[in-house]
Structure 1
Amino acid sequence: MADTSETRASDSAARSTRPGGLRRLMRHLPVIAPVLLWTVPCWLLLYAGQHWPLPVTLAATLLFLLGLIGMPLAMMRGHGRRQQDGAAILGDTLLGAAWVLFTWSVLLGALLRLALTVAGVGDGQDRARIVTWATLGTAAALLAWGYAEARRVPRVRRLDVQLPRLGPGLDGTRVVLITDTHYGPLDRARWSERVCATVNDLRADLVCHTGDIADGTAERRRAQAAPLGTVRATRALVYVTGNHEYYTEAQGWVDLMDELGWEPLRNRHLLLERGGDTLVVAGVDDVTAGSSGLPGHRADLAGALDGADPDHPVLLLAHQPKFIDRAAGHGVDLQLSGHTHGGQIWPFHHLVRLDQPALAGLSRHGDRTLLYTSRGTGFWGPPFRVFAPSEITLLVLRSPERPSAS
Structure 2
Amino acid sequence: MSKKNKIPIFPVLFRTPEINHLYESIEYFGTSIKNKTNSECAKNNIFTFRLVPEYFKLNLRDTSFKSKIIPQYNWGYSILLNDSDSIEGYMQRQFNSKKRNILTRYVKRLELCFNIKYNMFYGEMPPADYDFIMQSLYDMIIARFEERNETHKNLYEWQTLAEDTYEKILNKEASLFVIYNEDEPIEISLNYHYDKVLFSYISSFKIDYSKFGLGHVEIYKQIEWCANNGYKLFEMGVGGMDYKRRWSNNIYRYNYHLTYNGASLLTSYKARISGTKLKLKEYLKSKKINEILPLINNYLTPKRKNSSNIVASEIRPIDGLDLKGFKELSLLNNDSFLLKKHVYSFLYTTITHSNDIKIYKNNSENLFIVKSAAQYQKITLNV
TM-score calculated relative to the size of structure 2:
0.21
Higher strand share: 2
Higher relative contact order (CA 8 A, sep 6+): 2
User: Which one has a larger percent helix, Structure 1 or Structure 2?
Assistant: 1
TM-score (norm 1): 0.20
